[in-house]
Structures are given as structure tokens and as C-alpha cells.
Chains A and B, each alone.
Chain A
Amino acid sequence: MGLSNKNKEILIGPLSKNNPVIIQMLGICSALAVTSKLEPSIVMAVSVTAVVAFANVIISLLRNTIPARIRIIVQLVVVAALVTIVSEVLKAFAFDVNKQLSVFVGLIITNCILMGRLEAFALGNGPWESFLDGLGNGLGYGIILVVIGFFRELLGSGILLGFQVIPDVFYQWGYVNNGLMILPPMALIVVAVIIWVHRSGNKNLQEN
């Protein structure tokens, strides 16, 4: 199925020009917390993408029936149910990663990207567009997480996904892993560097 230009924009926009993390500054909290290694970053990215895409579809399908006064509660229940399912699935099939992510899986519920997309998009658009929007935003968030996780694990521990990538000779020559990369402040600095690189490539995003 080919995508119309509008739908393409819905899907691709959040990856760069309208990225939830580096443009809208949403979901920063979990982007800092789970990215000290690449593997939990990837699992978190997949989890959030699944939750936001399906929550968008469900809310979009229900959008004409939801009573206006309990709109937010309905959205929260849908999100909470999906997050609980994701958490149960991780416990069953990715136990170790789930232990590393600990409370942050549950905290997907409070990820601002989710409520933001449900309120701003799913309530006013059809299920297919909403699905693409959720997918795009989830991936936009995921890309940033994976990039941060990549640099933090590489520079902080010298490994990627548990495999050593920096050869032993480097350590014999005096190279030392930067322990600061493991700590939360460096996540913020890596986000800032990503934003810097991104804006210097997109002149129209720069403020005067």
C-alpha cells in the first residue's frame, strides 16, 4: 500500500523536523534514565513505539464515543492497560532487560509523548493516520534513545550490546573508559549535542 504525501509526512515528520525528544522536548526523563546501555535503550524504544501506536489506534477508534468530561481518564486507562501488557510480556520473554529497566517500563504511562499524541492527534484523526503518527513518534523517540545509548555504552564501558568493541591494545596504550558517561548528567549532555548537530543541519529550526 502506497502512502499519500500527507501520511508520509505524518510518519516521517517526527523522525527529524518534528522529533518529540529533540524538538518538542518530550520524554526526556526516560531518555536519560534507561540509556546507559544500548540494549535497554532498544527495548524501551520498541516498547514505547508499540504502546503509542496502539494507544493512538484505540483512542482514534473510540474518539466519537468518548465522553468529553472523562476524556483524559479514558486515555490513561488505555495507556495503562497497554503498558501493563508490555510489562508482563517483557517479564515473560526478556526478564534480564526488564530487570534493568525496572520502574521505567511502568513509567511509560507518564511519558509525555503518549498523552501528547493522544490529545493532539488521535482524538481528531482516523485510525490509520493515528497508527502512522504513533509509529512515527515512537520511532522518533526510539532513534534518539538508541543514539544516546550507543554513545554512552561505547564511551562509558567500551562495549556494545555486551560485546567488547574497543580492542585491548587501546587500553594498553592508556585509553580509559569514561565513567562519567554512565551517569545521568552525560545523557543530558549527549541529548544537547544531538540537538546542536541537528539544528546546525536544519537552518529553519534555529531561533533568531
Chain B
Amino acid sequence: MNRDSNIYTILYASVMVVLVAVVLAFTSQSLKSYQNENEENDKRQQILRSINVQVPANEAKDKFNELIKDSFIVNEQGEKIEGDAFDADVVKAFEQHTYPVFIAQTDGQTKYIMALSGAGLWGPLWGYISVNDDRNTIYGADFSHSGETPGLGAEIVLTSFSGQFAGKHLFINGEFKSVEIVKPGKSVAGQDYVDGISGGTITSQGVNKMIFDSMHGYVRFLTSQNQQ
């Protein structure tokens, strides 16, 4: 057979591509359940980190079921609506003005965990933030990113950054102010603030905007109970 003929080349390429496609489809299908489980455990770890609980991936499911007592979705008016908070895609949920909430019981206290979604320098940012049962004082926060610069913007995942949020207030005198992220050493009047990442200014600003925008949707949920 002439290996340089056009027909041979086209046939060879077609057969090869189909074979490779079959092999890859099979690999993807057979590993799917493991991958989904990993992703879910990763999400559970993130949610648990926002209430300052660090667990390895294989214990995440048990710990999550132990601590998270309830989860639901609220709309902009702060009313519960249909839906599963854990399975909800946060980006899509926010677009529809719906907001996932998780309720955790830790050390006998109730914590409300809310989702965050925003953009950094190179790609999406997301995270979870928890507040005490006064629905104002932040208890913990956790941030993740898909591709921020290592050593600079990527430092938002460290507890040295996210730990600063504990004890800060989202509302000052009943008005929603969010928590401002400032250049290290700077301060801002009239609201609580934390230090940003030196050299990771755009990522820090992204986190700042993410917290403001995301928490803005939860304002009615957080304030409705305060008035009761």
C-alpha cells in the first residue's frame, strides 16, 4: 500500500481520531464518579473552612453532615425558595438573583454561611463567608481562585489573609457597608476593613468587589431577621 497517497493519509487520520475519541470517552466515563466525589468534597472543605474547620478531603463528608444543619436558597427579598443550596452553581444562581445559604451549628452557636462569586486578575474567584447569629459579625471566610498569580494574588487562599475577616462587621448602624480591602497600612473611615495582598492589588480589589456584590444580594436575608 502506498503510504503517501491522499486516500491512505485521510483514512489513517480518520481511523486514528475515532479510536482516540473512543478511548478518551471511555476513560472520562469510567472516572466520572470519582471526579465528582472529589469536587464535592473540595466544595465541602471550602464551606467548612469558612467556619474555621480544617478537615482532610476524606473526612469532609462526615464533618459536613455533622456541622451543617440546614441549607436552602433565598431570593433577593430574603425569602426561602425551592432548590438545593449545595448543588446550586453559585454563578448561575446569582444571575437569577437567588442566593444559597448554609446553616452550621458549631460550639452550640448558629453560623450562617453564604456564597461569594467574583472575578480576579486572570479568572474567576469564589468563596464562602460565615456570620454569627447576629447576622452581622463575620465568623470566618474562605477564598478560592482558578488562576491568580502564585505568590501574589494566589495568597488570598491563605488563612493569613482570610483570617483577618473574623470579627469584622458587614453592617454599621444597620446600614450595609461590606468589608473594605485596603492597601496594607491604609485605613478607611465608617466601615470595617482588612489589609489586601501586597503585589496582588487587582486580585485584592477583585475580592473586595466580590464581597460587596455577593453580600449585597444577601442584605434582605440578613436584615429581615434582625428586625423581628
Which residues from chain A sit less than 8 Å from chain B, CB to CB?
A: 36, 65-70, 73-74, 77-78, 81, 84-85, 88-89, 91-93, 95-96, 99, 102-103, 182-183
Instruction: Say whether, besides A65-B3, A81-B24, A91 and B9 are in contact (CB < 8 Å).
Output: no
Instruction: Say whether, besides A81-B24, A95-B42, A95-B57, A70 and B13 are in contact (CB < 8 Å).
Output: yes
Interchain Cβ contacts under 8 Å between A and B, 30 examples = A36-B150, A66-B12, A67-B3, A67-B4, A67-B8, A67-B9, A67-B12, A69-B4, A70-B9, A70-B13, A73-B13, A74-B12, A74-B13, A77-B20, A84-B24, A84-B27, A85-B23, A88-B28, A91-B31, A91-B34, A92-B34, A92-B35, A92-B38, A95-B39, A95-B41, A95-B42, A95-B57, A103-B147, A182-B151, A183-B151
Render B176-200 as a binary contact track against A, CB cut-off 8 A, 1 for contact. Answer: 0000000000000000000000000
Contacts of B21-52 to chain A: CB distance below 8 A: 23-24, 27-28, 31, 34-35, 38-39, 41-42
- A-B pair count, CB < 8 Å, reads 60
Instruction: Say whether, besides A74-B16, A81-B20, A96-B57, A69 and B9 are in contact (CB < 8 Å).
Output: yes
The interface size bin for chain B is 20 to 34
Provide the bound-state CA to CA distance between A36 and B154, in Å: 14
Provide the bound-state CA to CA distance between A122 and B34, in Å: 34
Task: With CB as the reference atom, state the residue of chain A lying closest to B33.
Answer: A92
Write out the residue numbers on chain B whose beta carbons fall within 8 Å of the beta carbon of A74. 12-13, 16
Task: With CB as the reference atom, state the residue of chain B lying closest to A80.
Answer: B20
Write out the residue numbers on chain B whose beta carbons fall within 8 Å of the beta carbon of A68. 3-4
- In the complex, which of the residues B4, B17, B39 contacts A77, with contact meaning CB atoms closer than 8 Å? B17
Which residues from chain B sit less than 8 Å from chain A, CB to CB?
A: 3-4, 8-9, 12-13, 16-17, 20, 23-24, 27-28, 31, 34-35, 38-39, 41-42, 57, 147, 150-151
A91 touching B12, Cβ below 8 Å:
no
| B165 CB to nearest chain A CB (Å) | 23
Task: With CB as the reference atom, state the residue of chain A lying closest to B8.
Answer: A67
Task: With CB as the reference atom, state the residue of chain B lying closest to A33.
Answer: B150
Write out the residue numbers on chain B whose beta carbons fall within 8 Å of the beta carbon of A99. 42
- In the complex, which of the residues B24, B27, B28, B38 contacts A95, with contact meaning CB atoms closer than 8 Å? B38
Task: With CB as the reference atom, state the residue of chain A lying closest to B17.
Answer: A77
Further contacts, 11 of them, CB under 8 A, given A65-B12, A67-B3, A92-B38: A69-B9, A70-B12, A74-B12, A74-B13, A77-B20, A85-B23, A91-B34, A95-B39, A96-B57, A99-B42, A183-B151
B3 touching A93, Cβ below 8 Å:
no
A88 touching B31, Cβ below 8 Å:
yes
A77 touching B12, Cβ below 8 Å:
no
